[in-house]
Amino acid sequence: MTVHLPWAQIRTVLLDMDGTLLDLRFDNHFWRELAPRRYAERHGLSLAQAQAEVKTRTQVVEGTLNWYCLDYWSRELALDIIAIKREIAHLIAVHPHVLTFLQALGDAGQRIILVTNAHPHSLALKMEKTRLAGYFDAMICAHDLGLVKEQPEFWPCLQDIEPFDPATTLLVDDNPAILHTARAFGIAHLVTVLQPDSSAPPHLPGEFPAIHHFSELLPIG
Ligand SMILES: [Mg+2]
């Protein structure tokens, strides 16, 4: 499968982190298994009770800044979320062909910006483990803007601090809600990822051009 992008018309590449460049297995395992287990231990609940409670609490704030905020979850669950994430840091992994893709973007002179809803502490942990930071011209956290990518207001605010022309910009993101707000803002080139979590089955292709791996966007130029 190859997605033919008009690279000559692209100047800026905005890349999501979790699920797009990095395997969502880490985050899913954390929220579905490890955090409920620690919550059950802390509050004297069965694992099933804790999983149900964590799921309910996360659904309430899904798609908001709190959903991505480690301080919020540390307070809400009375757990040291960062310390618990570190316990499974060995699961943090870069998706196949990402390094080749980032190298090719750099060689082609594209401006490469990581744009993530992840909390700054999550970003720091992921960069520590993956050593990807050097590939980006800038790394932008939703928390710096006080808005998440799902919010239409996010995109003009991003543009204020990191100027880009939507007509010559590519966004790759595994979240369809985010691709929708980006499209409404005018970002011309949008691509999604079919298998954000390597331990889960791939999604079916939908309305946005989709890749299994970043090799499908090559060559550049
Ligand atoms: Mg993502």
Q: What is the DSSP string of 68-123?
A: G-HHHHHHHHTS-HHHHHHHTGGG--BPTTHHHHHHHHHHTT-EEEEEE-S-HHHH
pTM of the model: 0.96
221: confidence class by pLDDT, cuts 50, 70, 90: confident
What is the distance in A from the centroid of ligand 1 to the CA of 48? 27
Q: How far is the CA of 145 from the centre of ligand 1 (A)?
A: 17
Task: Measure 19 CA to ligand 1 centroid, in angstroms.
Answer: 4
Interval between CA 24 and ligand 1 midpoint (Å): 8
Taking the centre of ligand 1 as the mean of its atom positions, its distance from the CA of residue 43, in whole angstroms, is 30
Q: What is the 49 CA–ligand 1 centroid distance (Å)?
A: 27
Distance 16 CA to ligand 1 centre (A): 6
Dist. CA 179 → ligand 1 center (Å): 11
105-131: pLDDT as tens digits = 999 999 999 999 999 999 999 999 999
- The letter for the amino acid at 46 is S
Instruction: Using CA atoms of 177, 178, 183, 184 in order, give the dihedral in degrees to the nearest 10.
Output: 70
- Cα(7) to centroid(ligand 1), Å: 23
Say how many Å lie between the CA of residue 188 and the centre of ligand 1. Answer: 19
- Separation of CA 98 and ligand 1 centre (Å): 14
- Cα-to-chain-centroid distance, residue 124: 13
Listed in sequence order, the residues at least 6 apart from 214 whose beta carbon sits closer than 8 Å to its beta carbon are 95, 96, 97, 98, 100, 101
Nearest Cα to Cα of residue 203 among 172, 180, 176, 170: 176
Q: What are the beta bridge partners of residue 31?
A: none
Q: Which whole-number Å values give the CA distances from 209 to 54, 189, 218, in the listed order?
A: 33, 9, 14
Residues 47-77: pLDDT tens digits? 999 999 999 999 999 989 999 999 999 999 9
Residue 2 pLDDT = 83
Average pLDDT, the chain: 96
**Does pLDDT of 1 surpass 80?**
no
Question: 186: buried, middle or exposed (CB in 10 Å: 19+, 13-18, 0-12)?
Answer: exposed
The residues, ordered by sequence, that sit 6+ positions from 47 with a Cβ below 8 Å of its Cβ are 36, 37, 40
* pLDDT tens for each residue of 172-188: 999 999 999 999 999 99
